[in-house]
Structure 1
Amino acid sequence: MKQNFTVRHGALDGVEAFLSVARHRNFRKAAAELAVTPSAISQAIRTLEARIGAALFIRTTRSVGLTEAGERFFARARPAFEELIAASEIARGMGQRPAGLLRLSVPPAVVPVLLEPMIASFCQAYPEIELEIVASGELADLAAEGFDAGIRMGDLIAPDMVAVRLTPSFPMVVVGSPDYLRRRAAPERIEDLRDHACLRLRRSNGTVAPWSFVDGNKTIEAIVSGPLIAHDYPSLLGAAIQGVGLAQVPGPIAEAPIADGRLQALLGRFAVTTPGVFLYYPERHQVLPKLRAFIDHIRRPTGVDASPKRSGRRRQS
């Protein structure tokens, strides 16, 4: 049977004074150690004894000793209080210097492009931080799942989050391998995609994402079909390189295979531009040093404005 348990208000009041007197066996020395008056120490001990319901000290004009209750209380309270002080120091240290476990929820596509180039240098620069990267296409509940922050494309971030820009805006590009394009003519118009094997992304909410384009001032969402549905962009990119079909992926992850000839960019004049990639975290009064250190470190190579902003349309400015 579950028992109700509450910590009484002021349950720790007087404990530090008691421990100091018990160590020194002297009220004046305890007062000096705690930088208070002897009368304040005496009052704290009287209040503690009244709350406990037992005398803790034997006082004479020449000495101070512990009662049996005081001895037992001292034996249990001293290690517990020291552990509490140690815990406070650890927490204070984490609030003052970069240290501790830093957990990030990131999409798989971000890892090779944005994170892998800086992981080694970050770990070397901040040896007291343990960096844990959880790569998943799912949108994590940061607080419920114990993450310090997440990384996502800007249009996927909830408006109640603080967003920090990590990359400039970039296009969503349609790509196909030379082998695939030898078998089928390269599309020149959005309508031509009806005759192509188009690889698609299933979003975290279960829906299959359409391909997005712009034609002048008009936004177009094309419903395409093909032999493969994946839950992340790297899988779509890999399948496109293998000639399975065309894929629409974020421009940064396609740069290398386009540059070395494994892929060819298509329909460039219709490419839609995304807000870019942002790090996001719940709005708080203070960002812990471990997260601030990561933000500052990952910003250095990009040269983009990475000052924190409230999530929403304003963050794209």
Structure 2
Amino acid sequence: MRREDLVDLNAFLVVAEEQSFTRAAAKLGTSQSALSYTLRRLEARLGVRLLTRTTRRVAATGAGETLLRTLRPALDDIAAELASLGEMRERPAGSIRITASRHAAEAVLWPALEKLLPAYPDIQVELSIDSRLTDIVAERYDAGVRLGEHLARDMVAVRIGPELRMAVVGAPSYFATHPRPRTPQDLAAHRCINLRMQTLGGLYAWEFEKNGRALKARVEGQLIFDDARLILQAACAGFGLACVLEDQVEADVTAGRLLRVLEDWCPPFPGYHLYYPSRRQPSAAFALVVEALRHRGP
């Protein structure tokens, strides 16, 4: 059956039940002329007259009554199935693919999913760890995670984490032989551990701001990594200064394994956002995951 057949049959059913083109058109949200054309098209396709029209009422013909006896239970069954599908919203199901950096996955995504998923066993989530600026449409992801300052305009963005801050740190053993920097310019006299950016392939320029003055520092040192965990290991071992996200060094700073410097030059910036195409029609499962991830703090 073609889709237009189902539309035409439903129109016939409503007209026959209402016994009026005026009332049926209002119920279906269409015009009388469009509804009349639909019924004439259906009768022409079937080759029989389904309705008799008088100035006062519309009634089904013998062929129309025969069709109604089959049509009513069939459309009632379809309505019941649609209602049952609506009830499935209480137990959403489906697969959701999300691409994110390792830090975003560990700090934001997994803590929320760990709480959500046990109650929804029919939802399957795939997390792909990738720090590149992935084209989620081309690579068939449902959503991605980026910092708020890097979002494309044609995407729906949902804030899923708090503001972030960078932290410049070094080991006590390093500062035993090197003075603490007081300004970003002082970094030129220090050994620094560089980060190779997976997005563009270049080295990350350390970003600072104070009193409305922003600057980027190109640093030098013996080591270059493309992984924050290795950078922290090298920093704890005294190989130089590191610039990483604040929460990544919180435990080491608290334990005294690392000391923080230039803190007044590291203001907060927009944190992680989940993004997906604005034309996407969210499924019940996807909408549920989005709400679980939505950040509700300051």
Give SS of 2:289's match. Answer: helix
Counterpart in 2 of 1:144?
138
Counterpart in 1 of 2:156?
162
Identity of aligned residues (%): 34
> For structure 1, which runs of at least 5 residues remain unmatched after alignment?
1-9, 16-33, 38-42, 50-84, 306-317
Distance in structure 1 (CA, Å) of the matches to 2:135 and 2:86: 27
Q: Is the contact between residue 113 and residue 292 of structure 2 (CA under 8 Å) also seen in structure 1?
A: no
Counterpart in 1 of 2:266?
271
Counterpart in 2 of 1:78?
none
Distance in structure 1 (CA, Å) of the matches to 2:88 and 2:233: 42
Q: Cα deviation per residue 1:123-166 (whole Å; 9 max; x = unaligned)? A: 20221111111111111111111111111211222222211112
Aligned runs of 1:189-228 on 2, under 5 Å?
189-203=183-197, 204-228=199-223
| Residue 304 in structure 1 maps to residue 297 in structure 2 | yes
Tell me by how many angstroms 1:220 deviates: 1.0
Per the alignment, do residues 190 and 14 of structure 1 end up closer, same or farther by CA in structure 2, a change over 3 Å counting? closer
Number of residue-to-residue matches in the alignment: 245
Counterpart in 2 of 1:153?
147
TM-score by length of 1: 0.64
Q: Is the contact between residue 210 and residue 267 of structure 2 (CA under 8 Å) also seen in structure 1?
A: no
Counterpart in 2 of 1:262?
257
Distance in structure 1 (CA, Å) of the matches to 2:277 and 2:155: 5
- Could you tell me which amino acid in structure 2 is paired with residue 292 of structure 1? A
Distance in structure 2 (CA, Å) of the matches to 1:298 and 1:12: 38
Q: Is the contact between residue 189 and residue 267 of structure 1 (CA under 8 Å) also seen in structure 2?
A: yes
Q: Is the contact between residue 165 and residue 278 of structure 1 (CA under 8 Å) also seen in structure 2?
A: yes
Counterpart in 2 of 1:106?
100
Counterpart in 2 of 1:238?
233
Distance in structure 1 (CA, Å) of the matches to 2:192 and 2:281: 45
Tell me by how many angstroms 1:115 deviates: 2.9
Per the alignment, do residues 212 and 109 of structure 1 end up closer, same or farther by CA in structure 2, a change over 3 Å counting? same
| Residue 123 in structure 1 maps to residue 123 in structure 2 | no
Give SS of 2:128's match. Answer: strand
Counterpart in 2 of 1:23?
none
Distance in structure 1 (CA, Å) of the matches to 2:108 and 2:114: 12
RMSD, aligned CA: 3.9
Distance in structure 2 (CA, Å) of the matches to 1:94 and 1:146: 28
> For structure 2, which runs of at least 5 residues remain unmatched after alignment?
7-12, 17-40, 48-77
TM-score by length of 2: 0.67
Distance in structure 2 (CA, Å) of the matches to 1:215 and 1:12: 63
Q: Which moved more, 1:253-262 or 1:212-221?
A: 253-262
Tell me by how many angstroms 1:107 deviates: 0.6
Q: Is the contact between residue 163 and residue 268 of structure 2 (CA under 8 Å) also seen in structure 1?
A: yes
Q: 230, 241, 249: which one pairs with 2:244?
A: 249
